[in-house]
Amino acid sequence: MEAYTRDNMADVLRKHGINPTHQRIEIAFALFSRQEHLSADQIMAIVNLRHSETSKATVYNTLNLFLQRKLIREVIVDPSKVFYDPNTRPHHHFYDVVSGRLTDIEAGDLTLSGLPDLPDGVVTEGVDIIIRVRPQQTQPA
């Protein structure tokens, strides 16, 4: 319930065992202040808006570090790019196949029943539910 500032982003990073460098703070701030699902290239564009200071390598290094430390998660829904999601609570997604926009569905009251037993010798790592939607077709009169 607290506004995100670069200062408290640094604290969040430290809490996840991540050294808060300039670049890492900017990348985290881009994701958390917007609370949107962004691709790596969108993040790089945002972070370098004012003046270029973060390389492509660092953007990917950082996003992968954030994933590993479970500060963010990835959403795989577009065959050509990964989206990074600052929301790590259990939740699912609407995906607008035309605009490419992702919207959260809180997992709260959503239940999935009738699942078959897991194949032997495997454990669940996660459940991804994606509702693909498209804008209502406007009917020619």
Provide the minimum distance between the beta carbon of 61 and its own copies in the complex, in angstroms, as a whole number. 16
Taking CA atoms, 110 is separated from 44, 91, 133, in Å, by 34, 9, 18
CA distance 118 to 100: 32
Nearest alpha carbon to residue 70 among 84, 53, 59: 84
> Does the protein bind DNA through residue 37 (CB under 7 A)?
no
Q: How many angstroms separate the CA atoms of 133 and 107, rounded?
A: 18
Dig out the tokens for 15 from the structure. 């809490």
Per-residue mark of binding to its own copies, 48-87 (x: CB under 8 A): --------------------------x-xxxx-xx-----
Does 117 interact with its own copies (rule: CB under 8 A)? no
Q: Does 140 engage in binding with its own copies (CB under 8 A)? A: no
CA 56 vs. chain centroid, Å, equals 18
**Binder among 31, 36, 54, 95 for DNA (CB under 7 A):** 54
Stretch that binds its own copies, among 17-25, 26-34, 44-52, 116-124 (CB under 8 A): 116-124
Return the range that interacts with DNA (CB under 7 A); candidates 34-42, 89-97, 99-107, 118-126: 34-42
Give the whole-angstrom CA distance, residue 129 versus residue 91: 8
Site residues for Zn ion, 57-116, by CB under 5 A, read 85, 87, 104
